[in-house]
Amino acid sequence: MDFQQAGLSRRHALKAGAFAAVASLLGSKLAFADEKTVADELKKLYGDKPFAAGKIKLDVPEIAENGLVVPINIEVESPMTDADYVKAVHVYADGNPLPGIVSYSFTPACGKASAATRMRLAQTQNIVCVAEMSSGALHMAKANVKVTIGGCGG
């Protein structure tokens, strides 16, 4: 479509498009994941395989004063040999718009199954960490992180 034939300048068309995009975002509510969403994601990856406790050290703060930069440290007990190693680690948050936070892949050459990063959390929620072993065994750890606004509770 030629904007000039329609009586619009390119600038007016861009402004109208931007306004429409902002209006649609403000008009719709942002949906958040929940425990069921995380369970559905895990079911997609692993079906009905059972999850065992243990082997995962999940280090997250109990209270995060700033949900934009929440540190997370993960360490999985494993000899990291060709016969026994951690294949993958997946981290989920059950209160974010999208539940998947990060996934790591490991090989025996890694020597140690550990990782650290920072994540964004939209609100107080559970963090779920799943470790997939080379044997097919699955381990899970959970932690709750309370996200406050400027340290004032929330």
Q: Would you list the domain boundaries of the chain?
A: 1-30, 35-147
Give the pairing of strands 70-76 and 56-59. antiparallel
Q: What is the pLDDT of residue 28?
A: 47
Average pLDDT, the chain: 85
Q: How far apart are CA 95 and CA 33, in angstroms?
A: 5
* 25, amino acid identity: L
In terms of Cα–Cα distance, which of 86, 131, 83 is closest to 112? 86
Name the pLDDT band for 113 (thresholds 50, 70, 90). Answer: very high
- State the CB neighbour count (10 A cutoff) for residue 21: 10
Whole-model pTM: value is 0.77
Contact between residue 62 and residue 87 where contact means Cβ atoms under 8 Å apart: no
pLDDT score at 27: 43
Beta strand pairing call for 113-119 and 100-105: unpaired
Please report which confidence band the pLDDT of residue 18 belongs to, taking 50, 70 and 90 as the band edges.
Answer: low
What local confidence, expressed as pLDDT, does residue 31 receive?
75
Distance CA 19, CA 12 (A): 10
* Least trusted range by pLDDT, from 15-19, 32-36, 117-121: 15-19
| 24 pLDDT higher than 60 | no
Q: What number is the average pLDDT over the span 76-98?
A: 95
CA distances from 105 to 79, 115, 130, 141 (A): 16, 10, 12, 17
CATH architecture type of domain 35-147? Sandwich (2.60)
pLDDT attached to residue 48: 94
